[in-house]
Structure 1
Amino acid sequence: MTDPATQPTVLFVDDDADIQSAARLLLTRRGFRVLAAHDAAEALTHVAAEPIDLVLLDLNYAPGATTGAEGLALLRDLHALRPALPIIVVTGHSGVAIAVAAMREGATDFVMKPWHNERLVTLLHDTLDRRRRETRPPEPDTHAAEPVLIAVSAPMRAPLALADRIAPTRAHMLLSGPPGSGKTLLARRIHARSGDPHPPVLIDADGLSALPAERGTWILRGIESLAPTLQRALADRLDGAAPPRVLALSSLGAEELAARLPPRLWLPLDAVRVALPPLAERPDDIPVLATHFLHYFAIRHGLPEPVPDAAAIDALRQRPWPQNVRELRAAMERMVVLGDADAPLSPDGDRAHDSPTLAESERALIESALRRHGFNVSHAARDLGLTRPALYRRMARYGL
């Protein structure tokens, strides 16, 4: 019997339940652990939450789809999340042409439906063996940062499409949106699709005393907090011969931000503006995000995954979410930790009298993150989606 600890884990993404069952039966008999995903959001959840060794990726999920566009978009998202993850495309309707397009997008190999069982198993083993032999730099700790940007709604897909189109260029970009809407995740996605092999430089403008020396790509959070002297210094860097690429993040609107920055700095940053909507304006994303976070935190904490009923999901869609996705994430972690899927949230965010307050929950989440990272404040802040100064302020508020 195969030791579960040494079983390679294969994620098979396909909307056909019969094909999923056939693949699971074949691969489990050959010593693989098999996870199933039926669409892009479910696939991204698995890859963010679990140690996946290889992905088998069908290219069409919607009924009647044959273009492969959904699968190609997911392929790009998976590579943004796990650049070294081997992805083997499984294609039938789309044919060889779309499989070749997938290879250009970074797929490791492809197999045609209906596959030959022995050849498929051999291809999986050869792909995993080749990956083990290759010398690669360590991948980022995706389980700590959980860098997944999930969007199914039109208000969110539109800005993502613009960002993806500009990503391969060296153009500076201004990423705006309310707190907790996903600006840092979008910046990381842009960098992952830029072709730059070097990691981005993450900079918090709040309290910054000097600009970094690196070129590359800078993710500059809270650019409105940049001191006037650093605003001038950054403008000088952008006027230089080999400037860094700046992805500037701000929670302010364009007019207010333009009033805070000198024109020499504002104009190049405003060349491409991508605005993320608040979560309340994209309610179709809420059930998908909630499912993702519940699954992620159930695995992370080793607890059962709650299954909220339709009333609970509807209550989540009705809430205003002033802190946006960050607040939904915290609410789903609380649901996992407390196991309270049967206690739906009311539209105004009130809970039963015996439930913890928001402040109590926030303190508990901060304590948990600090313990999880050995009280390394930088790592805990990144895990919580906060800047270090913001985390220090909350620690002081709760006496931590």
Structure 2
Amino acid sequence: MPEDHKILVIDDDQDILLAAKLLLKRHVEAVDICNRPEQLPKLLGATQYDAVLLDMNFSPGESSGQEGLYWLQEVLALDPDAVVVMITAHSAVELAVEAMKYGATDFIAKPWQNEKVLATLSAAIKLRHSRREATQLRQSNAALIEANQPQSDMIGESPHMQQVKRVIERAAPTDANVLILGENGTGKELVARELHQQSQRRDKAFVAVDLGAVSENLFESELFGHAKGAFTGADKARVGRLLAANGGTLFLDEIGNIPLHLQAKLLTVLEQRQVTPLGSNKHQPLDIRLVAATNVQRDQLADERLFRQDLLYRLNTVEITLPALRERADDIVLIAQHYLQLHKRKYQKPDLEFSSQALDDIAAYEWPGNVRALRHAVERAVILSDGPCLHSSDLQIPSNHSAPSIPETLSDIDSISVNPNAPGVDLDLEKAERELVSTALHRHNFNISQAAKALGITRASLYRRMEKYDL
């Protein structure tokens, strides 16, 4: 039995108390004894005990066990995770079993055997340790959930956004699945988080999965999890994203880009409401609110050669279409000002403001990357600013509001004719790659699939470069 633990023994028989202390003090750090149960609140308030030994009867001639049941409930009211072992006579074993229905962990019959006492307390201490860890984990999870629930950044007074907000308000309190449509950068994940925040599941997990960054061969492991030894390299079991979101909301982004055969597997899980991890034959129940999003056009989703219609029906109980930023021009300046205030605080530049010309250009520019592009432009401008005013040039808004003409793919860079000895030629490869990636994204309105195809790289490679260059 571990030695760094504390035990409390409550019994009206002084001989029992003395015998318990003599036995246990050789095995644990401290043993407190008490013959008056009314002192329990004070004792439990001052010390966290790893186990409590509690007698069933205290008054002379009492044998009903009601006193023990009363004080058992008092202990558990003071400390719900407490581990209580009842002390009873052999003739009152049935009472001890009744006490376990009230929350006691185990019982010891008098006269006891020392080995039985030590074994029972050892198991009780392990249980107490597990309960304490579980409580700490629940508290940590609650803190993480709260910390990851920022105030809504859904800014906009345009008719388009007012309609989106109305749909969110109506759909959020339900468990209806929601499909969010819209170009890249329009704020689909933001809408998903808002749905979660306004739902009955707000105190549970919100788990987001970017399916565009999940390779086909890892799809099942990522979403459904796997058992130890399920495949080469699976040296330990892993909980999939679906079960990680159990009780909460699962957000599947880029849903329109997963292959048909994987769509079928996802549909099966959603219909059966249970998950079977790879390499396991044990089904686990699934209770999630599903929110999916895609930048694929609605007419493409309706093409059964590209997307399973039965899955589409399962996903779009409620459908929300987010407008492109150019379709709600009245909101552009509001959003820019919001991100300016946010990044002024973040980078400790409280005096920064937009020039009047910058505000005009911000409002006039079509922002092919939508809100995401505007946010990045403002943050970059704040970071690099060296004065109190942000100008159009700081935001890198083209003077003619169009992207520069550069090669279509990364492979085309070899065809550029450059005199390396010419003055002003920048041979920084990373800078050139960043410009190529940025231009491809802008040219294809931040459609990841089209931009990746134009660059001659995979979607995963494009995501890595976007992260690397903060695009």
| Structure 1 length-normalised TM | 0.52
Deviations 1:76-115 (A, max 9, x none): xxxxxxxxxxxxxxxxxxxxxxxxxxxxxxxxxxxxxxxx
Task: Verify the 8 A CA contact 1:318 1:347 in the aligned structure 2.
Answer: no
1:348 is aligned to 401
Structure with larger Rg? 2
Superposition deviation, residue 343 in structure 1: 2.4
Read off the aligned partner of 1:251 and give its amino acid letter: N
In 1, distance between residues paired with 2:461 and 2:178?
A: 24
Q: Confirm or deny that 1:250 pairs with 2:294.
A: yes
Return the match for 2:356 from 310, 328, 334.
310
* Bigger RCO (CA 8 Å, 6+ sep): 1
Q: Which residue of 2 aligns with 1:325?
A: 371
Partner of 1:33: none
Q: Distance in 1 between matches of 2:143 and 2:362?
A: 38
Displacement after TM superposition at 1:393 (Å): 3.3
Determine helix, strand or coil for the equivalent of 2:143. coil
1:200 aligned onto 2:248: no
Q: What's 1:188 paired with?
A: 193
Q: Deviations over 1:311-363 (max 9, x none)?
A: 22111111010000011111111221222745224460579xx9xxxx96996
Rate the CA distance shift 1:166–1:146 in 2: closer, same or farther, 3 A: closer
Q: Do structure 1's residue 228 and structure 2's residue 260 form an aligned pair?
A: yes
Whether 1:393 and 2:468 are equivalent positions in the alignment is no
Change (3 A) 1:220 1:141: same
Letter paired with 1:191: H
Residue deviations 1:272-323 (CA, integer Å, cap 9, x gap): 1100000111111111111111111111112244211332211111101000
Q: Which runs of 5+ in 1 are unaligned?
A: 1-134, 367-386
Q: Determine which of 157, 160, 164 is the counterpart of 1:159.
A: 164
Q: In structure 2, do the counterparts of structure 1 residues 309 and 143 end up closer, same or farther at CA, with 3 Å as the change threshold?
A: farther
Distance 1:393 1:350 in 2: 19
1:392 Cα deviation after fit: 1.3
Q: Helix, strand or coil: the match of 1:218?
A: strand
State yes or no: 1:290 paired with 2:325. no
Contact 1:221–1:248 under 8 Å retained in 2: yes
Please tell me whether the aligned partners of residues 164 and 320 of structure 2 are also in contact (alpha carbons under 8 angstroms): yes
Alpha-carbon distance change, 349 to 301 in structure 1, aligned in 2, over 3 angstroms: farther
Whether contact under 8 Å (1:306, 1:335) holds in the other structure is no
State the alpha-carbon separation in 2 of the partners of residues 363 and 265 from structure 1: 37
1:170 equivalent in alignment to 2:175? yes
Structure 2: 5+ residue stretches without partners? 1-138, 224-239, 274-285, 405-423, 425-429, 438-458
Q: 2:21: which partner in 1?
A: none
In the aligned structure 1, how far is the partner of 2:302 from the partner of 2:318? 14
Kindly provide the CA deviation profile for residues 229-253 of structure 1, in whole angstroms up to 9, marking residues without a partner as x. Answer: 3211111122125553221110112
Partner of 1:22: none
Which residue of the partner structure matches residue 411 of structure 2?
none
* Aligned residue pairs, count: 237
Q: TM-score, normalised by structure 2?
A: 0.45
Amino acid of the structure 1 residue aligned with 2:291: L
Contact 1:304 1:336 in 2 (8 A): no
> Structure 2 vs 1, CA of residues 182 and 342 (structure 1 numbering), >3 Å: closer, same or farther?
closer
Deviations 1:359-395 (A, max 9, x none): 969969x9xxxxxxxxxxxxxxxxxxxx976441336
Q: Is the 8 A contact 1:334 1:361 kept in 2?
A: no
CA contact (8 A) 2:149 2:197 kept: no
